[in-house]
């Protein structure tokens, strides 16, 4: 069984979605050009780790090994 911590937000997307999103802190130090990915929809691969910080204590982190922006599909207008 997995254990995750993060901020749970509701998501009002239509279609196939549970209605919730769990935000988890990510370490992208191994990924180049992360500035270009900020505030974008991304796909990342890596592993979940627990880091013991001196001030914050133990924190669950997703340590990314790669990341890429996901381009949103444009909806086709009717009649095309």
Count other C-beta atoms under 10 Å from residue 41's C-beta: 9
What's the pTM value of the predicted model, to 2 decimals? 0.66
State the Cα–Cα distance between residues 28 and 31, nearest whole angstrom: 5
pLDDT at 38: 86
Question: Domain-by-domain residue ranges, the chain?
Answer: 25-69
Is the pLDDT at 11 greater than 90, yes or no?
Answer: no
Average pLDDT of the residues in 62-67: 90
CB atoms within 10 A of CB 67: 20
- Mean of pLDDT values over 36-59: 90
Q: What is the mean pLDDT of residues 49-77?
A: 83
Task: Find the mean pLDDT for residues 8-14.
Answer: 80
């Amino acid at each position: 069984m997995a254990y995750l911590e993060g901020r749970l937000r509701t998501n009002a997307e239509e279609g196939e979605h549970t209605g919730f999103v769990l935000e988890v802190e990510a370490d992208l130090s191994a990924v180049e050009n992360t500035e270009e990915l900020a505030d974008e929809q991304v796909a990342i691969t890596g592993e979940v780790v627990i880091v013991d910080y001196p001030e914050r204590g133990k924190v669950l982190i997703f340590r990314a090994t790669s990341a890429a922006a996901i381009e949103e599909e444009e909806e086709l207008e009717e009649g095309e």
